[in-house]
Structure 1
Amino acid sequence: MSSEQRGLTFLAAVYLGGLVFGFGLAISGMARPEVVLDFLQFNDFGLIFVMGGAAVVTAVVFAVATRYFDRAPITAREYTRRVKEFDRNVVVGGAIFGVGWGLSGICPGAAYASFGVGNYPILWAIAGMFLGAYAQGLVRTRIGSTNTTETTTH
C-alpha cells in the first residue's frame, strides 16, 4: 500500500471512529449537558458506565493489538508507548478543564455530538473551547519566546 493510500485509509478510519463515537454519545444520552451535570452532582451515574465501558473496550483492543500485531494496521507504524510527564501543566490544565466541564457540563467530544443531535446553542461552547485553546497557544508561545530570550542573553 502506498503512503498516499495509507493516508486516505487513516483519514477514513478517523472519520469512521468519530462517527461511531458521536453516535454512541448521542444514543447514550451523554451528548446532553444536563446529563453530564447530573453525573457531576451525583444524581445520575450513567456516565460512569459509558466511560467505563469505553475504557474496557479500548484496553482489550490495545492489549490484543499490541500482542498479535507488530505494527498498527492502518499506518504501519511500530507500536510505541508515548509517556507524558506528570508535571505542573498537566495539573493546571486538568484543573481548568475540570472547572469548565463542571460549570457547563460540556466535554469537547460530547459538545460535537450535542451539536449533531440538534443542540445548536452548543456552538457558543465550542467557540469558547477554540478560543481557550488559541489563547493558551498564544501564552505558551510568548512564554517560550521569553524563556528563549532570557537563556540567550545570560
Structure 2
Amino acid sequence: MRIALGFVAGLVFGIGLLMSGMANPAKVLNFLDVAGPWDPSLAFVMGGASVTAFLGFRLVWRSPAPMLGDTFRMPATSDIDRPLLMGAALFGIGWGIGGFCPGPAWAALAMGAPGTLVFLPAMLIGLTLGGRLKPALAT
C-alpha cells in the first residue's frame, strides 16, 4: 500500500509539473533571467506549493502518527554546515545552467525533451560522486 500511495503522489507531482510548464527548462531559465524575458510564473507555482505544503503539514501534525507508519521521522539535526551550503550552491548552479531540478527533469523525460538525455545522466553521476565524496567534504 505504501508503494502504491508513493507512486500516486509522484504521479500527481509529475502531472502538476507538466501542467504548470515547470518541466520546460526554458520557462525556468526565463524566471532566472530578470534582465531578459523574465517570466514570473515559477514564483506563482512555488507560492502555491508553499501554501499547499504549509496547510498539509498543519493537518498531518494533528495526527498522533503517520497513516502508513508508527512514528514521524524528523531530521536529527538542523545545523547549517559546509556540506549543506555546498550542496545548495551546486544545486542552484546546476538549476541555473540546465534549467532542471531533479523532479522536473524526470517529468521532462516523459515528454522526450532532449536536454534530459544529457541532464539526467549527469545528475546521476553527480549524485554518485557526491555520495562518495561526502565523508571527505564533511571534515
Asked if Structure 1 and Structure 2 have the same fold, meaning a TM-score greater than 0.5 normalized by the shorter chain, the answer is: yes
Task: Name the amino acid aligned to 1:21.
Answer: F
Say how many residue pairs are matched.
Answer: 134
Match of 2:41 in 1: 46
Task: Name the amino acid aligned to 1:28.
Answer: S
Structure 2: which 5+ runs fail to align?
Answer: none
Match of 1:100 in 2: 94
Matched ranges for 1:28-67 at <5 A: 28-42=20-34, 43-67=38-62
Contact persistence 1:66–1:79 (CA under 8 A): no
After superposition, give the CA deviation of every residue in 1:70-101 in whole Å (9 maximum; x if it has no partner).
000122x2235324321111111111111111
Q: Percent identity?
A: 36
Distance 1:33 1:121 in 2: 8
2:5 is aligned with 1:13: yes
Distance 1:121 1:105 in 2: 9
Matched ranges for 1:115-134 at <5 A: 115-134=109-128
Distance 1:104 1:28 in 2: 18
SS at match of 2:61: helix
Max Rg structure = 1
Q: TM-score, normalised to structure 1's length?
A: 0.80
Deviates more, 1:113-122 or 1:28-37: 113-122
Q: Which structure dedicates a bigger proportion of its chain to helix?
A: 1
SS at match of 1:31: coil
Structure 1: which 5+ runs fail to align?
Answer: 1-8, 148-154
Contact persistence 1:36–1:106 (CA under 8 A): yes
Distance 1:80 1:118 in 2: 36
Distance 1:127 1:121 in 2: 11
The runs of 4+ residues in structure 1 deviating greater than 3 Å are: none
Contact persistence 1:33–1:104 (CA under 8 A): yes
After superposition, give the CA deviation of every residue in 1:116-154 in whole Å (9 maximum; x if it has no partner).
12214412100000000111122225x38xx7xxxxxxx
Match of 1:5 in 2: none
Distance 2:78 2:113 in 1: 34
